[in-house]
Amino acid sequence: MRSRLGALGLAASVALTALAGCGVSVTITEPADGSQQGQKVIVKGTISNPKADIYLFVRALPDGEHVLQPSVWVREEWDGTALLGSVYDPPGGQYEIFALAAKKGLGLAPGRVEELPKDYDAKSNVVRVYRTE
């Protein structure tokens, strides 16, 4: 009897821990990985918890800094604008785009980010695009 109660308690504990840790997943659905884009890109995606905050990042490859993009609109799906470099940068180059989701705000402002936060709840797929203009 005691071992069954112990096993039941352990199973309940594992189930509650799993439920507490889940709740946010974020995915980029557009643009397509490997696509060619202009300097301004509309990024679209899905999120499992529309109450979470989404932070959209762009980084020039191979070793550019992460740049947090301005506002992202979150509903059942989300979208935002990503800038591949500045208007003064020449066309060409490869960039990666990804999103972080957090149930609690991360306190980040748009612009260059020296170090990515570590306390986010989910990270999207990474999409690599090529700037054509």
CA angle 64, 81, 127 (to 5 degrees): 55
Higher-confidence residue: 15 or 56? 56
Q: Which helix (H) or strand (E) holds 30?
A: strand 26-30
Residues 76, 52: Cα–Cα separation, whole Å: 11
At 102-132, the pLDDT tens digits run 999 899 999 999 999 999 999 999 999 999 9
**Could you tell me the two tokens for 13?**
């504990």
- For the chain, the structural domain boundaries read 24-131
Counting beta carbons within 10 angstroms of the beta carbon of residue 23, is it exposed (0 to 12), middle (13 to 18) or buried (19 or more)?
A: middle
CA dist., res. 98 & res. 94, Å (int) = 14
Q: For the domain made up of 24-131, give the CATH fold.
A: Immunoglobulin-like (2.60.40)
pLDDT digits over 71-94, tens only?
Answer: 899 988 999 999 999 989 889 999
